Structure 1
């Protein structure tokens, strides 16, 4: 069986404190689309698409480091090394040095609850990059 996947709807990340999470993702450069405290959610835009990164408050979720097996959501940026420098300048710690891959470079960050977000570029394969 094969499903026709049309795109992604949202990347859902559980957090233990919605206010602190919104502050973290804004500090990391994600533009806030909306926040509904009564529903325990906040949505951040990703590019020009309607879907984005959806934070959802989870009762009892405690801060902690990312696990090696933590799922990762990576987002395309023009230059991952420049993104790493900008994140560090903004006070957001990156998880190691930018990693080289077959298409370009990737740098990752983790929020206080261990959700890992990556920023990847296509500098080695620009024909695959978004326009």
Structure 2
């Protein structure tokens, strides 16, 4: 397990990329006009348009796990609210809700 990134809704991707790069972050990865990953070398922020936001309009923590199915099964058995895993362009992910009611994205990378 590791913190993958923080997903930030992007209403104006170009303007937001400009803003964050002016803060000193560098572009690590870009997926067209849908998603841009920026980093300071340690933390990654993923600017996501509506099609790439697991919970539209919400800033979300994203946690990478080795085995998504095992992880969501364990969380569900412990009583967590767990969404069905869905494929993304680069990962499989599920939105789970922590005990405080905050949605969190749990994902595994696609091979």
- The TM-score, its normalising length taken from structure 1, stands at 0.42
Comparing both structures, which one devotes a greater share of its residues to strand?
2
Q: Give TM-score, length-normalised by structure 2.
A: 0.49
Structure with the greater alpha carbon radius of gyration: 1
